[in-house]
Amino acid sequence: MISGEFQILLVAGLGNPGNKYACSWHNLGFLALDFWANEQGLSFKPGRGEFYHLSRRTRNGILTLIKPTSYMNLSGVPVRQVMKAQGLFPENILIICDDIALPFGTIRIRTQGSDGGHKGLASVITEIGTESFPRMRLGILTEQRGEDLADHVLSKIPEELNDGLLKILKDTSQALDCIFHRGLTAAMNEYNRNSFEAEPVSDPRSKCRNKKDDK
């Protein structure tokens, strides 16, 4: 554990499989993990179940990232399978998903909570039997949102927002590194904000990334 916290050893980015849903708002969990993996020089491979996965050894144990391919409403099934296979507790997992209630650019990390109307989170809660697991919600509320929420979350992210999307994915990647190396509390203090707002002044010596920790 990090300073009394449970170590995150399983991260699940939520989304829907297939080209139809690629680069949609609802697949922001997939995009976040793909971006982080690319920065680390890693790639996902098919797992023994309805998910893609990658693993790496850290000083705290084996860290596994998965992208469920069971479709959003059944996301919890592969999460439960991997969690059980690795002997993990709910406190050891982190779910990354989109959130229509948060403005585009917002990162919101919490250690527990309800599903907030998100069917992927609802599936995870049902499958593992508790709301007490960490999650990182990424805001997707924009001025372009129509009256039909389902249409919005399944729509493609507009190309004119690519620069903003890149900024969010970079910040999300840094937040993940912070969680892995310094824990959830540090990440919540540093990254629970909107990526388009001015960054808080912080001690430059307290950067989250420290690749030596993985050796």
Would you please indicate which residues are annotated as catalytic (active-site) residues?
Answer: 26
- The answer to whether the beta carbons of residues 140 and 114 sit under 8 Å apart is no
Hey, what are 32's tokens? 């976040």
- The answer to whether the beta carbons of residues 61 and 49 sit under 8 Å apart is no
CA distance linking residue 201 with residue 181, whole number of Å = 20
CA distance linking residue 67 with residue 106, whole number of Å = 22
The H or E element containing residue 179 is helix 162-182
CA distance linking residue 63 with residue 70, whole number of Å = 21
Strand blocks (E) in the chain: 10-13, 45-46, 51-58, 61-68, 93-103, 107-110, 135-141
